[in-house]
Amino acid sequence: MTPGSLYSFYRPAIALPKFFDKSLLYFPIFAENNLVMAEISISNKDWERVKIKIQRKYNHLTDQQLQYTAGQEESLISRLMELVKRDRNYIIFTLKKALVNIDNNRL
């Protein structure tokens, strides 16, 4: 595998018997975020709750900036990346965290 390829590989550091095929331990880890579709799915109903949480955390964001329709997760993620000046992984982590406990007000 060459550097910069789509997948990087991880091999756990455990002791295995010599007869065990160690190549079976390699598994792909997602490496390039911009080549895949959104890792989350947000309904319009859930977005209303998530939007409130995001506005509490980033109080400079307006309703206009946080407009969203179901199925447009990619555009939402890229817009939030620009608005809060954070990377894609952080935005996805924040959205997933907001969705896990949708009924409480914590983000």
Dihedral of CA atoms 34, 38, 40, 43 in degrees, nearest 10, equals: 140
Whether 103 has a pLDDT exceeding 60, the answer reads: yes
Structure tokens at 24: 């079976």
Q: Are 17 and 34 in contact (CB under 8 A)?
A: no
Q: What is the pLDDT of residue 29?
A: 41
Q: What is the pLDDT of residue 57?
A: 92
Query: CA-CA distance, 70 to 36, in Å (whole number)?
Result: 18
Q: Which helix (H) or strand (E) holds 7?
A: strand 7-10
Query: CA-CA distance, 45 to 51, in Å (whole number)?
Result: 10
What b/e string do you get for 84-106 counting C-beta neighbours within 10 Å, with b at 16 or more? eeeeeeebbebbeebbeeeeeee
Whether 26 has a pLDDT exceeding 50, the answer reads: no
Query: CA-CA distance, 65 to 48, in Å (whole number)?
Result: 13
90 pLDDT tier (thresholds 50, 70, 90): very high
Q: What is the pLDDT of residue 14?
A: 57
pTM of the model: 0.61
